[in-house]
Chain A
Amino acid sequence: MNPTGWLVIGMGNLHRSDDAAGRWVARQLVADRVPGLLVHECGGELAGLLAAWANAQRVVVVDALQSGARPGTLRRWDPHAQTLPPGRFPCSTHDLGLAEAVDIARVLGQLPPQLVIYGIEGNRFTHGTALSPAVAVAVPRAAHRVRREIERHQA
């Protein structure tokens, strides 16, 4: 049983440079030892994502973003109130990205009751395991924002 009742899912492909930004945020939160927080890493595949948040009530998803903004820029969405921009989350196979996964989950009635999505603008999505400098700086900042998000809901 996790006292905070929050699940954080970090998404991305660890071998596609900044695409893995969400997973690095998940690892940062594990390293920060946030009490009771459940952390899950996900390669970005639709069925895996829906299975990961099945039965979870409160979920934060962190993924890389490719919108043309300055690398390292953080953005936040509440999918229950907002529509995610399609095609902006590059981590996908056969064109089923996070925005599409959220839309399908919504139609299937499988969206967690409380869901927050953070996007970290990436710079480099080529083969490689290293984050680009701006994204590496953004990862601890994103982890801090996620912690504050959870604390705010608990207050």
Chain B
Amino acid sequence: MSKPSTTRTLKVDALARVEGEGALHVRIRDGRVADVKLKIYEPPRFFEAWLRGRKYTEAPDLTARICGICPIAYQMSACHALEDACGVTVGDPWRALRRLIYCGEWIESHVLHIFLLHAPDFLGYESALHMAKDHGDLVRRALQLKKLGNDLVTLLGGREIHPINVRLGGFYQVPTPAALAPLAERLKWARDEALAAVRLTAQFDFPDFDQDYEFVALRHPDEYPLNEGRLVSNQGLDIAVREYDAHFAEEHLAHSNALHSTRKARRHYCVGPLARYALNFDRLSPLAQAAAQEAGLGPVCRNPFRGIVVRAVETVYACDEALRLIAQYQPPERPYLEVPPRASTGYGCTEAPRGILYHRYRLDERGVILDARIVPPTAQNLKTIEEDLRQFIPSRLDQSDARLTWQCEQAIRNYDPCISCATHFLKLHLERE
């Protein structure tokens, strides 16, 4: 006699510790995962349409408003794409300053996620607040570390949220070496704290969950990627940024206000710390490599739950790289290069903390934006998050609804999703039939 079909429904009406508003719906029928939908209901913000008709010089500041966590990423991708359109290459020392401000954003974003958003999952707390009751010193040091990232962004960007000092060709004002010197002292402390974070997170209990991802990230001939490089994958992709549209597609799904990205004629792919790390381990600084090896990571990590350790390794790198950049800094004679407009299309892609952020702009001869395309990292990871859940849930169906729900939320937080960017919060519905 066959068993009657059974339905089990789990609902979480507010998935916490992610940025933005959305919901996850999981339907389990007769003990199998029938459907997983990451529903993004935060309204789309139509930034691309808003950019049409604006001056090309406005794009870095306008797109920085898309996200309060990673405004530098938006500014950097916009600058590179527009400079590409105008045929201008911006080298050192402006290039070094761009890497330096990006290090600040990586530090603040990664530290926020490691300690305040994701560590509570592994240490068994509902939130950073609950964790702080038992791990006060940890939270205190995390806040100091994050503050350093904020201060680096503020010094170079003019203010911490929606910085205003970045412009095409460079900066409105550049710092003196004396202004950077106090940050160097704090960065040495921060680097030690980041190393301690690698050791701490490496001890967490991780589910056995290695996945066969196609990792996509930038790769640069000499350095761990932030602003520049070719787009590469572990499955043969190796293209210039301007070829992005020929290889990647976005599709609109009825359940989501965010577009979902795929590799054309292939499948979902993974961007972010795991991808960068796997494709660029040899470009990390020796200290960051040694920290990763001590943490038992190996040159490739396929377990998204271990992403917290990779973020800590990248934080070590960001501190190390910032120190190198400050030590070598020679202020430019002028804060920026002129970027005269021309009728053309430009492409830019940089490594936001959550992964590659692609911008494309078409300009007329006066520099008016005719059209714009922006593909944020979370939109590129949405299908991978859904696929992770399809793989993750079946072996855990015997668990209670509460436990399974908690683990699904944790699996989503592995990606530090920024739904505000992708549509620009998350409710979870787990339905068992």
Distance of B330 from chain A, by nearest CB (Å) = 30
A13 in contact (CB, < 8 A): yes
A-contacting residues, B30-75, CB 8 Å: 65, 68-69
Cβ contacts under 8 Å, B69 to chain A: 93-94
- Over the window 129-151 of chain A, the binary record of Cβ atoms lying under 8 Å from chain B Cβ atoms (1 yes, 0 no) is 00000000000000000000000
Q: Which residue of the partner chain, among A15, A95, A108, A110, contacts B17 with CB atoms under 8 Å?
A: A95
Q: Which residue of the partner chain, among A13, A94, A104, contacts B117 with CB atoms under 8 Å?
A: A94
How far is it, in angstroms, between the C-alpha of A15 and the C-alpha of B63 when the chains are bound?
13
Which residue of chain A is the closest to B128 with respect to CB atoms?
Answer: A104
* Contact indicator B129/A103 (Cβ below 8 Å): yes
A43 in contact (CB, < 8 A): yes
A-contacting residues, B133-183, CB 8 Å: 133, 136, 139-140, 143-144, 146-147, 150, 159-162
Which residue of chain A is the closest to B50 with respect to CB atoms?
Answer: A127
Distance of B275 from chain A, by nearest CB (Å) = 22
How far is it, in angstroms, between the C-alpha of A104 and the C-alpha of B133 when the chains are bound?
8
Contact of A107 with B19 at beta-carbon distance under 8 Å, contacts A43-B160, A93-B69, A94-B69 already known: no
* Contact indicator B19/A47 (Cβ below 8 Å): no
A50 in contact (CB, < 8 A): yes
Cβ contacts under 8 Å, A100 to chain B: 127-129
Give me the interface of B with A, judged by CB distance under 8 Å.
16-19, 65, 68-69, 112-113, 116-117, 127-129, 132-133, 136, 139-140, 143-144, 146-147, 150, 159-162, 425
* Contact indicator A48/B147 (Cβ below 8 Å): yes
How far is it, in angstroms, between the C-alpha of A51 and the C-alpha of B129 when the chains are bound?
17
Q: Which 9 A-B pairs have the closest CB atoms?
A: A43-B161, A47-B147, A107-B132, A47-B143, A47-B146, A93-B68, A94-B19, A103-B129, A108-B136
Which residue of chain A is the closest to B425 with respect to CB atoms?
Answer: A95
* Contact indicator B160/A108 (Cβ below 8 Å): no
A46 in contact (CB, < 8 A): yes
Cβ contacts under 8 Å, B139 to chain A: 104, 107-108
How far is it, in angstroms, between the C-alpha of A143 and the C-alpha of B300 when the chains are bound?
56
Q: Which residue of the partner chain, among A47, A94, A107, contacts B144 with CB atoms under 8 Å?
A: A47
A37 in contact (CB, < 8 A): no
Contact of A45 with B161 at beta-carbon distance under 8 Å, contacts A103-B129, A104-B128 already known: yes
* Contact indicator A45/B150 (Cβ below 8 Å): yes
Highest count of chain B CB atoms <10 Å: which of A13, A108, A127: A108
Chain A interface extent, by class: 20 to 34
A116 in contact (CB, < 8 A): no
Cβ contacts under 8 Å, B140 to chain A: 108, 110
Which residue of chain B is the closest to A51 with respect to CB atoms?
Answer: B147
How far is it, in angstroms, between the C-alpha of A108 and the C-alpha of B112 when the chains are bound?
17
B-contacting residues, A41-81, CB 8 Å: 43-48, 50-51
Which residue of chain A is the closest to B130 with respect to CB atoms?
Answer: A107
How far is it, in angstroms, between the C-alpha of A50 and the C-alpha of B136 when the chains are bound?
14
A84 in contact (CB, < 8 A): no
* Contact indicator B16/A95 (Cβ below 8 Å): yes
* Contact indicator B161/A13 (Cβ below 8 Å): yes
Cβ contacts under 8 Å, A38 to chain B: none
* Contact indicator B136/A107 (Cβ below 8 Å): yes
Which residue of chain B is the closest to A126 with respect to CB atoms?
Answer: B45
Which residue of chain A is the closest to B62 with respect to CB atoms?
Answer: A127
Highest count of chain B CB atoms <10 Å: which of A45, A47, A51, A100: A47
Which residue of chain A is the closest to B117 with respect to CB atoms?
Answer: A94
Cβ contacts under 8 Å, A47 to chain B: 143-144, 146-147, 150
Give 28 CB contacts A-B under 8 Å. Answer: A13-B68, A45-B160, A45-B161, A46-B116, A46-B146, A47-B143, A47-B147, A47-B150, A48-B147, A48-B150, A48-B160, A51-B147, A93-B112, A93-B161, A94-B18, A94-B19, A94-B112, A94-B116, A95-B17, A96-B116, A100-B129, A104-B128, A104-B139, A107-B129, A107-B133, A107-B139, A108-B136, A108-B140
Distance of A48 from chain B, by nearest CB (Å) = 6
Which residue of chain B is the closest to A92 with respect to CB atoms?
Answer: B68
